Amino acid sequence: MLGTFTKNTLITFITRVLILIFLIGVSIIIARTLGPEGKGIYSLVILFSLILVMFANFGITEASIFYIGKRKFSREGIFGHNIIFTFFISIFTILIGLAIVFFFSHKLFPGVERGHLFLGLSLIPLVIFFNFISHVLLGLQKIKEYNIIRFLQAFFLLILVGILLLGFHLGIRAAIFAQIFAYLFTGTILFFFAKKEVRGITLKFNIQYFKNAFSYGLKSHLGSIFSFLQYRFNIFLVNIFINPIAAGFYSVAVELAEGTWLIFQSTAIPLFPKLASEKNSKALKEFTPLVCRNVLFITLLVAILLFVLSHWIITFFYSTNFLESILPLRILLIGAVSISGWRILTNDLYARGKPMVNTWIAGISATLNIILSILLIQKWGISGAAFATAISYTIAFLLILMIYNKISGNKIRDIIFLQRSDFQFYKNFLSKIINFKRK
């Protein structure tokens, strides 16, 4: 179990590092060409579309992984249903988006043109399709293929943003178009990838799968919504209480802080499908603490390094125009370690068929985040938003840690503190690298 998981984690980690480099490159190009205000407006438009997609997910992505892993329904049928779901959910979501832009954009998006928001809605069907179909690959544990698709999406985005903004010096809409075409190109490739791995497609509607998928999915759906809102909703609040320029500063801090996420994402992506298909309860009990404590340790080291280098990173890559991003970045790094442990334990509970546990925890944490943000932004600006997020992440981790401790029977020290065997693993790993270099 550990060998395959380690291989998939390593593949995912390498891919995520490359993706992070591409996305930071995109962020730097947009920030330097459009400035803080343009960067803020672009981030708000993209985030608006992604939030709509998240609300309309209905937990289909998690249900796809869960039921492919349990082999209760045919993979061809699940693949076909996800295409059907994409069509109808996209129409519903775009209509909701249009209503929001027509009637509430002046209140929710002060300083942002309606035209930008309308253009951003074009992303919705492309992102929904990308999410629904890529999670079929995850359910099949085709980690390499999944990572290739994610890599291509970020690569196309970087190339398109570079051409449109650096080459032709176009504006905010060009950056949004880059997102649209990146998803369009990658989605086409993804379809053929998935069809090949699934070995066919069944578009016949199965009422039983429909009921089961939405029953399981909706239990995890609220948790996913709360988690997503917690990650990014503060950017909206910063724009409402301050302005798009402040949102631009805060978006840079968030994007850099999320660089630490590649550690837990690299493990969480292969972890859920692996645990969902695991039949050995003893292996399930021992494996998650092993992953969690090591992810916490590595994330802590990365967060400390980024904290120390934050001033240099922002001034060198983004210019001195973004100096106000430094303090919120450092504050967000406090919560980065907490969220890494939270997301690992969340995937374990998903695999155990207990998605509602995370829904309650994410709901409590997101509510706390929003309340604190409203209070602290007005007092401390974007640093207040960062404090609100860091506190809510930490509370969420402590809650899920206690609940997981009771459900799994594992001791808390085994979940969060490195064991002697872990140090031996790192020692052996480094020895292999040193010996490989000598050869």
Query: 85-124 pLDDT, tens per residue?
Result: 999 999 999 999 999 999 999 888 998 999 999 999 999 9
Which two structure tokens, joined as six digits, stand for 136?
């079929």
> Directed axis angle between helix 123-139 and helix 60-70, to 10°?
20
Nearest-angstrom CA–CA distance, 429 and 154: 30
Give the chain's count of helices (H) and strands (E).
16, 0
Report H helices in 202-280. Answer: 207-241, 244-257, 261-276
Q: How do the pLDDT tens digits run along the chain, 439 residues long?
A: 545 666 777 788 888 889 989 999 999 999 999 999 999 999 999 999 998 998 888 888 888 888 887 787 888 888 999 999 999 999 999 999 999 999 999 888 998 999 999 999 999 999 999 999 998 998 888 888 888 999 999 999 999 999 999 987 788 999 999 999 999 999 999 999 898 888 888 888 888 888 888 888 877 777 777 777 777 788 889 999 999 999 999 999 998 998 888 777 777 767 666 676 666 667 667 788 888 898 899 899 999 999 999 999 999 999 999 999 999 999 999 899 999 999 889 888 877 778 788 888 988 999 999 999 999 999 999 999 999 999 999 999 999 999 999 998 899 999 999 888 777 766 765 665 566 455 5
Total Cβ atoms within 10 A of residue 209: 18
The structure tokens 């969420």 sit at 396
Nearest-angstrom CA–CA distance, 83 and 87: 7
Domain extent, residue 328, equals 2-438
Neighbouring residues of 432: CB distance < 8 A, sequence distance ≥ 6: none
Query: According to the model, what pLDDT value does residue 371 have?
Result: 94
Apex 96 CA angle, 56 and 389, nearest 5: 60
pTM to 2 decimals?
Answer: 0.78
Total Cβ atoms within 10 A of residue 210: 13
Query: According to the model, what pLDDT value does residue 140 have?
Result: 87
Nearest-angstrom CA–CA distance, 217 and 215: 6
Number of domains in the chain: 1
**340, 395 contact by CB (below 8 A):** no
Beta strands (DSSP E) in 62-119 are none
Closest CA to 28 of 239, 243, 314: 314
Query: According to the model, what pLDDT value does residue 435 have?
Result: 60
pLDDT in tens, 56-81: 888 888 888 888 877 878 888 889 99
Apex 253 CA angle, 221 and 232, nearest 5: 20
Distance of CA 155 to the CA centre of its chain: 17
| Cα distance from N-terminal residue to C-terminal residue, the chain | 29
Q: By three-state DSSP, how is residue 189 classified?
A: helix
Question: What distances in angstroms separate CA 182 from CA 21, 135, 160, 165, 245, one per listed residue?
Answer: 16, 18, 8, 15, 26
Amino acid letter for position 105: S
Question: What distances in angstroms separate CA 116 from CA 63, 121, 243, 350, one per listed residue?
Answer: 33, 9, 17, 37
Distance of CA 47 to the CA centre of its chain: 12
Question: What distances in angstroms separate CA 384 from CA 108, 243, 257, 371, one per listed residue?
Answer: 20, 15, 16, 11
Distance of CA 355 to the CA centre of its chain: 17
Buried b (16+ CB within 10 A) or exposed e, 223-232: bbbbbbbbbb
